[in-house]
Structure 1
Amino acid sequence: MNRPAITPLDRTNEAAYRALVDGKAKPLGALGKVEDLAIHLALVAGRPNPNYERALLLVFAGDHGLTESGVSAYPSAVTVAMVATLLAGRASANAFARAVGAEVKVVDAGVAADLAPHPLLIDAKVRKGTRNAALGSAMTAEEVESALARGAAIARRAKDDGFDILALGEMGIGNTASAALLLHRLGPADLPDCIGPGAGHDAEGMARKRAVLETAAARTPVIEPLQVAAQFGGLEILMMAGAILGAASERVPVLIDGFIVGAAALLAIRLDPAAADYCIFAHRSAERGHEVMLTALGAEPLLDLSLRLGEGTGALLALPLVRAAAGLLAEVASLDDVLAGRL
């Protein structure tokens, strides 16, 4: 794959944007981290009046061969059922999207079933689920490149369709297992610190999940990002990584959801560190391993609500905060204007 070139942020105007924020009608620093976010958004947009009204949530769906070994409390059939729920507008992500004024599309990256055409479904399927990473490579090198390229193309198409900001979410039974393995190698981090309950494991289920992931990790010592992706990745995770790279190449900011989308961001940033400039980390997930992931990325999320659902729900909840920060730059009067009565 010829990956799209990503231009690192030009910070030439950072001091000017900081002065603009400092000069607003408020005490110096009174809006705390919102001020930092506003400056970051201006740098991404390349102007002091960014606008992020048109938002698109892309929910990437895929199945995982690891579920054959019992890493999830639920069968892969739940992926298909939840995709249908998202397309019907009845999932949590749909409700949150309506609340914050975002559109939703679902991407079939690798669901292990044939999905009927739907106006809100993007068919980008690489294959019907990954292979079982406990037994061998989850994907071929060609499948990795295909997933990355398709994700990048989807993000660029969203920009062409007029969307100003993307939020990423996922649906895929077993994907916390894949994300844990990616974090283990790309963090890097000790494997036990990366493994959490996912959709909900009891003690027996967690013991089984840990044993399966230890077996998978012991198969191969790879640490190079594309090789790690092939060995352990999920199709939806790889396609999200491609979407992050594609969006960053178009200077479109991306709201990063929780643990799974975080694994995609980790891969994207390991492939091209400049992608980090365009990632906005929405929230700190309650899933074990997410704090380790955020530390590895040097990321400070906007929210901490003990979420661990996925679907992009945390990314959507952070969207109003992003818009508010942009409004600070574009709409708030300066202190000088207030004192002079120029309102």
Structure 2
Amino acid sequence: MDFKIKSVSNKNLAEALQSKIDQKTKPIGALGSLEKIALQIGLIQGTDRPILKNPTIAVFAGDHGIAKKGEVNPYPQEVTAQMVYNFLNKGAAINVFCTQNNIDLHIIDAGVNHNFNGISDLIDAKIDYGTQNYQEVPAMTKVQYENALKKGGDIAKQIFHNDCNSIGFGEMGIGNTSAASLLMSYFTDTPIAECVGAGTGLQPESITIKQQILSEVYHKHNPTSPQEALSCFGGFEIVMITGAILKAAELKMTIVIDGFIVTAALLGAHAMHPEVLDYCIFAHTSGEQGHQKMLAYIGKTPLVNLGMRLGEGTGAAIAYPIIKSAVAFLNNMASFESAGVSDGN
């Protein structure tokens, strides 16, 4: 897909927004990161009175061929499908946080190794019943990669046309921390050992085995382009998130980035279109060890660090009220002039 993503850079608007922020009844800079978020969202929307409409989180689910062996994951592959049912039954953490914060939630079958038989409320974007085992062959074919990227973009576009301008992403897929570690290693040029963490709860000896396996996988494929890396190592859910991020940026949506897996998808988008970072707000620092290094690589500081490493988009849902507060103060807080308060000048 050919994504047309433009930088949000606008000197005149940036100066107007900063002046508006500085004239609020507070010391300059006193609202910290909220001021930066307000400025960013104003630039994304091209106005000094931005609004957040129908915030949505899209959770993409997919299975990974390597997970069938159970060497890199403590939970069986069947858990992916079981958790999708949990999402649909509104029993997961992401359901709780989205309900609490009035965020729309969409669940997408990107490639789960299960037949859901057209169950209602599940978006069917299945590419295949899981990827191939990248210990043997690339995770997906070029055609599958292209289809996943396009479907992700199409889903973001559909959400946009539901009058939404703020979107976050989540994921579910047993084995997807392995895929994210491989992608992190490729995009950040970091040794595999520094990318691999506990995932869903591996013990130290199992982490060592996981590091060895993934190091062998990386050197077996040795990709030479972002597209090849995503197709060799990615899951269908990861590639769809990459496509969705790119399309959301093209549509000038505010994008809330979750944790380790979603940031791995973002690294792919960033490698193809660096301007995508202009549209991204980073929700939290994951407890997965590689995530902090990913964030350092792209020079971004997340809003909170609560030690979370659940995935599902939970970090994005938790952070949304902070983002909402940034827009609220920009639009509703009095200025020194309107309040009749001396600004010290």
Q: 1:151-174 CA deviation, whole Å, 9 max, x = no partner?
A: 001001101011121110000000
Q: Which one-letter code corresponds to 2:26 in the other structure?
A: K
The 8 Å contact of residues 138 and 221 in structure 2, kept in 1 or not, is answered as: no
Give the C-alpha shift of residue 126 in structure 1: 0.8
Alignment of 1:215-254 (within 5 A): 215-254=216-255
Hey, which bits of structure 1, 4+ residues long, moved more than 3 A?
none
Following superposition, the deviation at residue 253 of structure 1 comes to 1.1
For the Cα contact (< 8 Å) 1:188–1:296, is it kept in 2? Answer: no
Q: Which ranges of structure 1 fall in alignment gaps of 5 or more residues?
A: none
1:1-343 map, 5 Å: 2-12=1-11, 13-69=13-69, 70-339=71-340
- The question of whether the paired residues in 1 share the 8 Å contact of 2:285 and 2:304 is answered with yes
Please give the alpha-carbon distance, in whole angstroms, between the structure 1 residues aligned to 2:191 and 2:215. Answer: 11
Cα distance between partner residues in 2 of 1:278 and 1:14:
15
Amino acid corresponding to residue 135 of structure 2 in structure 1: A
- In 2, Cα distance between the equivalents of 1:182 and 1:290? 12
In the alignment, the residues of structure 2 paired with residue 30 and residue 129 of structure 1 have an alpha-carbon distance, to the nearest angstrom, of 49
Give identity over the alignment, percent. 37
C-alpha separation between the residues in 2 aligned to 1:263 and 1:3?
Answer: 20
- In the aligned structure 2, how far is the partner of 1:27 from the partner of 1:273? 34
Letter in 2 for 1:271: M
Residue 329 of structure 1 deviates from its aligned partner by: 1.2
Q: Could you tell me how far 1:240 is from its partner in structure 2?
A: 0.2
Give the Cα separation in 2 of the matches to 1:167 and 1:144.
22
What displacement does 1:27 show? 1.2
Cα RMSD (Å) of the superposition?
Answer: 1.2
What is the TM-score with the length of structure 2 in the denominator? 0.96
| TM-fit CA distance, 1:340 | 6.5
Distance 2:28 2:157 in 1: 38
SS in 1 for 2:340: helix
Specify the SS of the correspondent of 1:217: helix
Between 168-177 and 209-218, report the one with greater CA deviation. 209-218
- TM-superposed CA distance for 1:3, in Å, is 2.2
How far off its partner does 1:116 sit? 3.0
Distance 1:337 1:139 in 2: 59
Q: How many residues align?
A: 340
Shift of 1:117: 2.4
> Gapped runs of 5+ residues in structure 2?
none
- For 1:4, the aligned partner's letter is F
**Cα distance per residue 1:39-68 (max 9 Å; x no partner):** 001001111111114111100000001113
Q: What amino acid is aligned across from residue 170 of structure 2 in structure 1?
A: G
Structure 2: distance between partners of 1:120 and 1:55: 18
Q: Secondary structure at the match of 1:85?
A: helix
Deviation at 1:265, TM superposition (A): 0.6
Distance in 2 between residues matched to 1:116 and 1:19, nearest whole Å? 55
User: What secondary structure, in the 3-state scheme, does the structure 1 residue paired with 2:289 have?
Assistant: coil
CA distance in 2, matches of 1:294, 1:223: 23
Q: Distance in 2 between matches of 1:118 and 1:277?
A: 37
- Whole-angstrom distance in 1 between the partners of 2:192 and 2:207: 13
Q: Deviations over 1:200-245 (max 9, x none)?
A: 0112321221121011012022231001111111110000000000
Q: Deviations over 1:20-50 (max 9, x none)?
A: 1000011111101110111001001111111
Question: Which secondary structure does the structure 2 equivalent of 1:327 belong to?
Answer: helix
